[in-house]
Amino acid sequence: MADNLVGDWKVRRTMIDFLAGATHRFAGDAVVTEDAFTEHGTMRIGSQEMPASRRYRLEQLDHSTRILHADGRDFIELGPEAAQTVRHLCGADLYVGRFFFRGRDEWVEVWRVKGPRKNYASLGRFFRIDNTGP
């Protein structure tokens, strides 16, 4: 899975915060290497914009990719399937993710997160940046 994703990506994400009754938008870039995923961009909350980023470590297994938080804590594991569902319990918060890989140049991730202080849905779309130009 990660072999196909190595490269540079444009990211667009919409988050609906059901607790706050607000919609947040993220736009930025992601870089996937054999051992890391890094994302940087701008989060827009209402009329305010602020820098936002996230980083994960990647470990290649025989037929899947293990995704860990930057500090090494387990997060999720993705296999080679074009569509898959993952679950992650973080304290009292349950993260349910759905990933849809649309060939080598696009993927979508959908998250539904619920917990005592969290209740949101997120839709992120990733488009490969074409680095094959002149």
φ/ψ of 2, rounded to 5, equals -65, -30
The pLDDT of residue 4 is: 80
**What are 30-84's pLDDT values in tens digits?**
999 999 999 999 999 989 999 999 999 999 999 999 999 999 999 999 999 999 9
Domain boundaries defined on the chain? 2-128
44, two tokens: 């827009």
133: pLDDT strictly greater than 50: no
118, two tokens: 């969290």
Residues 75, 66: Cα–Cα separation, whole Å: 8
134: pLDDT strictly greater than 60: no
DSSP line for 18-34 = TTTTEEEEEEEEEEE-S
3, two tokens: 């072999």
pLDDT greater at residue 15 or residue 102: 15
Cross-strand pairs, 125 = 12, 108
CATH of domain 2-128: 2.40.128.20
CB contact at 8 A, 121 and 16: yes
